[in-house]
Structure 1
């Protein structure tokens, strides 16, 4: 297995950024291309690019500002998936957001990193205006 990490610095306080990315059911409020996001228990169903993908919440730590989830069931071209998005404080009231992903098959890892990097770019635009 191989882990890839998307990363971006955002000119917004970490608590403000976490307020968006830390909401498991709020993906459709900031991630481009997500048509809807509905939560049932610890599973969210994300409708994006004509696909319906189910993701299960693995861990959420508001103090550390981390959220880990895995794709479960059908809907994505992977056998295994685990991703963690985290928000850390940076200098002068800014934040650093990372989105690490491990996928099987390994050759799909780069695709997910690219998707997450694009999503982080959209998050930056959303927060910075």
Structure 2
């Protein structure tokens, strides 16, 4: 199993950052790769989420955990056709640093379908997660 860990400190209160992540939908407002995101059911464990990219790719996900006390959000990607990966488990940790600064760590564990693509996949996920974290900051501050 491979892993990518992206950590960034952003200028936004942790409760607002967590609020954006924990609601589980509306990714199109802060994740630039996503055109549309729909949630089937409440934003809790077992909920299904379907996100569509601007290129028409579809990600089908299951929400596994929404821990409001620890500010940890976890999901699995059940189906996608963008990267040569399977068994993708994503976890987002939100940590309060101060009233206006928050640390966000986005971790992905996955298996590769094509081992020669390890660097490409790792780099692509890191760039996507950096963009997503920055997008949360921009959404909150604009």
Equivalent in the alignment of 1:57: 63
Cα deviation, residue 104, structure 1: 1.2
- With normalisation by structure 2, the TM-score equals 0.81
Q: Which runs of 5+ in 1 are unaligned?
A: none
**Over 6 Å off, 4+ runs:** none
CA distance in 2, matches of 1:92, 1:58: 28
Deviations 1:71-94 (A, max 9, x none): 103434322201111211013431
Equivalent in the alignment of 1:45: 50
Equivalent in the alignment of 1:126: 139
**Count of matched residue pairs:** 129
Equivalent in the alignment of 2:107: 100
C-alpha root-mean-square deviation of aligned residues, in Å?
1.7
CA distance in 1, matches of 2:23, 2:56: 23
Q: Which runs of 5+ in 2 are unaligned?
A: 42-46
Matched residue SS, 1:79: strand
